Amino acid sequence: MQVHSFSLGIVETNCYILEGENELLVIDPGDNGEFLNKQIKQYHKKVSAVLLTHAHFDHIGAVDDVANEFDAKVYVHREEKSWLTDTEKNGSKKFAMYQLPQVVQHTVPQIMEPGEYEIGEFKFEAIHTPGHSPGSLSFVFGDFAIVGDTLFKGGIGRTDLYKGDTKTLLNSIEDKLLELDPNTTIFPGHGPETTIADEEMTNPYLNGFN
């Protein structure tokens, strides 16, 4: 499996395309739908699904574009299903002056609960990692994980947005992400990749966990 990343939108959100032998999995199509669809078409493979780590505006802006173009189901945690159509909850109302995609209008999402999944040729575990938002999910694919805005290289997710909570976020990192193999590669919602081991050793927000 190959992991391809694209930085999209005004806050440079990482969208990930996982490429299997015959299928693709798209995670967090945040913006620039026309550009993203062109990239996806270059692989000449079926889009099995669209997964959302959470439903902030910068992670959902191209959901309709991708889902409609490739007839793909979209999965989100039940806590944030309503956020897809609510500009207050998903944060897009604050950025209305930029004329960003405000809501998901044409796609009815599927609910993804924590657990083991097999979608097409992709096997993974969805882990509930709330804190940055109440329905944040991290997706673990063996030796790597896509964690949205829960953990970054040298940082953690902000908690000053709707229903964010710092204590909950730190508990998610300590009790769930740091329980992964230290060699697990972490692909965050913004910025470069890292590993669990590197963050345990160098992330200033996690010093108390060592």
pLDDT at 208 over 70: no
In this structure, the dihedral spanned by the alpha carbons of residues 40, 42, 47 and 51, taken in order and rounded to 10 degrees, is -30
Neighbours of 142 (CB within 10 A): 12
pLDDT in tens, 49-103: 999 999 999 999 999 999 999 999 999 999 999 999 999 999 888 777 666 666 6
Give the residue extent of every domain in the chain: 2-209
CA 86 to chain centre: 18
Mean pLDDT score, 187-199? 98
Spatial separation of the C-alpha atoms in residues 64 and 43, rounded to whole Å = 20
The pLDDT score that the predictor gives to residue 209 is 58
On whether the 2-209 domain is CATH 3.60.15.10, my answer is yes
Compute the distance between CA of residue 13 and CA of residue 207 in angstroms, rounded to an integer.
26
Q: Which two tokens stand for residue 140?
A: 């673990």
What is the pTM for the complete model shown? 0.96
CA 188/CA 196 separation, integer angstroms: 12
User: Is the separation of the CB atoms in 128 and 171 below 8 Å?
Assistant: no
Question: In the prediction, which pLDDT does 207 show?
Answer: 77
pLDDT of residue 107: 86
pLDDT, position 101: 61
User: What pLDDT does residue 92 have?
Assistant: 85
pLDDT score, position 100: 64
Q: Contact at 8 Å (CB) between 80 and 8?
A: no
Do 177 and 129 form a contact (C-beta atoms < 8 A)? yes
pLDDT confidence of residue 105: 79
pLDDT tens-place string over residues 139-190: 999 999 999 999 999 999 999 999 999 999 999 999 999 999 999 999 999 9
Count of CB atoms situated within 10 Å of the CB of 88: 10
